[in-house]
Amino acid sequence: TRSTRPQRMLKAVQKNATKGNPQSVISAIDYFCKNSEWAMNVGDEKGSILDSVVTEVNPSTVLELGTYCGYSTVRIARLLSPGTKLITLEFNPAYATVARQIIAYAGLQDKVTLVEGSSADLIPQIKERFGITTFDFIFLDHWKDRYLPDIKLFEECGLLRKGSVLLADNVICPGAPEYLEYVRNSPRYESRYYPAHLEYTKAEDGLEKSVFLG
């Protein structure tokens, strides 16, 4: 039977990247998406903004919602201080299987805990299952209609502290209008929009960075 796009992306990484070299994995995926098949990775333009925010925050506790093939997982994990791990949630088992292999090819498996399941189920379990009190940095890149309910869940579960940084992909395309309205109008967040483009295209998109004020 025909391979899937994530499987073809993995093959491209195994063919064109160097094992244990995260930058070469990132470049191989971007090359595949620009020259072979578009895929919904955060991409190089928004990825550079992600890099700068992660570097600025230098987080000790990190959560990513929406692993997909692990592109942004590799981008984030390669910047973390030694001993720091990130938790990434993926609902789709086929995506998770490819992501584990791409993360391992980059040599970052010891810095990543990939959990399969829905954010609605997993967020309330995080404190107990992973011994986390609060997150320093959260990257939202999963189902766009889950951004708002999940940020409310973070608040309810006490997973945010004064200064926690949330960075959301695709706030313009496909869009997360209710989430934007919430973080931009809530007195509990300081929000800033980083304009960019939908990965590998000229369509408008961007990242929204929101700092929890406590």
Ligand X SMILES: O=C(NCCNC(=O)c1cc(-c2ccc(F)cc2)cc(O)c1O)c1cc(O)ncn1
Q: Does 44 engage in binding with Mg ion (CB under 5 A)?
A: no
Q: 128 an active-site residue?
A: no
HSE-CB of 174 using CA atoms within 13 angstroms: 8
Least separation, in Å, of the C-beta of 89 and ligand X? 10
| 86-125 footprint of ligand X as x/- string (CB under 6 A) | -----xx---------------------------------
Q: Does 147 engage in binding with ligand X (CB under 6 A)?
A: no
Q: 144 an active-site residue?
A: yes
Of the candidate spans 30-38, 88-96, 106-114, 164-172, the one that interacts with Mg ion by CB under 5 A turns out to be: 164-172
DSSP lists the bridge partners of residue 139 as: 64, 167
Query: Quick one: DSSP state of residue 109?
Result: G
The SS3 of residue 138 is: strand
State which residue, 22 or 66, has the beta carbon closest to ligand X.
66
* 123 vs 117: CA distance, rounded Å: 10
Q: Does 40 engage in binding with ligand X (CB under 6 A)?
A: yes
Q: 169 an active-site residue?
A: yes
* 12 vs 86: CA distance, rounded Å: 25
Q: How buried is residue 83: exposed, middle or buried, by Cβ count under 10 Å (0-12/13-18/19+)? A: exposed
Residues that bind ligand X (CB under 6 A): 40, 66, 68, 91-92, 141-143, 169-170, 173-174, 198-199
